[in-house]
Amino acid sequence: MRRPDPAFWRGRRVLLTGHSGFKGGWAAHYLAHLGANIFGLALSPDTEPNLYSVSRVNEIVTGGIGDIRDAADVAVAVASKPQIVLHMAAQPLVRRSVRAPIETFDVNTMGTARLLDALRVVDGLEAVLVVTTDKVYENLEHGHPFRENDSLGGRDPYSASKVCAEIVVASYARTYFDARGVPLATARGGNVIGGGDFSEDRIVPDVFRAHVAGEQLVLRDPDATRPWQHALDCVTGYLVYAEALAKGENPPHALNFGPVSGASLPVSALVDEMQKALGAVRGWRLADGPRPREMKLLALDTAAARAHLGFDDRLSDTAAIKETARWYADFASGKDMRTATARAIEDYLK
């Protein structure tokens, strides 16, 4: 598996948006391990606890709290004169997007547009990578793993807002960035698990919360399948991709990142393995009442990332679940989570 080159990242100025979130927090720790100079732009965490606070992300990121929807905050972030931009700030929750569609489009679509508009005149820029999602594909539930050239389309505000972000990126690339020789691309990641996720309506945090509270787990859709991937595998893919773009390796300007061969796992199987790894009481019950329509089948074809980047996951679904459970067990036992998170990255890269 190709890994990020520490010699490339050491001392490089990186603008990381969304570093107060789950995946963004892991990216911040990873970049710090590589020796990058990180400037952040993100909202304050909206859960308690959260990865940002418990692992002290603020100690490794300069700047920080701000709003991608605020042009003045974006201008401050861009004034850091980044060489690499990793745009991960988002409203990432499907059910929240149904409750708050305007917020979701404003953050995910217009936030991306505001950032790119500010970046298009920045000198010294080497590459910009915008993270979208595996849910940008028009999902007719045929069961085949999605490839990068499949049709885009979103049924809910979250997926639709990310499709719009893809269109914004393509427009800015052709209109501004290509002419300047600055690669601008999108990374479409699968469903990510890992320690430090405390979001609402996410299966791993729900398993952990039920375990700690001694309550029975409630599932909305146990038969739904998703391409589960550990945060460290996903972030490694993003960093390798950004590095390849900056080095002029000319990879495609949209790539999928997910488990090997488009492998997917039903929610019920993930729950069973996670409960076993945590030492939790096994089992669950189905949520009462009507449940919102969610896609049953979702899988990604990641052959392009392997072919163009030499990148593949290190952690199988079982290993990813065990590593996730280890982080939550450390947290529950009161360990120093900045140290534990750094140790997880070091172990992963051995």
What's the CATH code of the domain at 150?
3.40.50.720
Burial of 150 (0-12, 13-18, 19+ CB in 10 A): middle
List pLDDT tens digits, range 205-254.
999 999 999 999 999 889 888 878 999 999 999 999 999 999 999 999 99
Helix or strand or coil: residue 193? strand
> Is residue 177 in a domain?
yes
Count of CB atoms situated within 10 Å of the CB of 56: 16
Domain membership of residue 70 (yes or no) is yes
Per-residue DSSP letter, 137: B
166 within some domain: yes
Burial 231-262 (b: 16+ CB within 10 A, else e): bbbbbbbbbbbbbbbbeeeebebbbbbbbeeb
155-164 tens-digit pLDDT: 999 999 999 9
Residue 64: pLDDT band (50, 70, 90) is confident
Other Cβ atoms within 10 Å of 279 Cβ, number: 9
Is 340 within the bounds of a domain?
yes
Is 218 within the bounds of a domain?
A: no
Domain that holds residue 162: 6-198+228-262+300-317+336-349
Q: Do the beta carbons of residue 165 and residue 68 sit within 8 Å?
A: no
Is it the case that residue 114 has pLDDT exceeding 80?
Answer: yes
Chain-centre distance of CA 138, in angstroms?
A: 20
327 within domain boundaries:
no
pLDDT at 261: 56
User: What confidence score (pLDDT) does residue 291 get?
Assistant: 60
The 10s digit of each residue's pLDDT in 240-254 is 999 999 999 999 999
Q: Would you tell me how many other CB atoms lie within 10 Å of the CB of residue 210?
A: 19
Is position 282 within any domain? no
Structural domains of the chain, count: 1
| 330 within domain boundaries | no
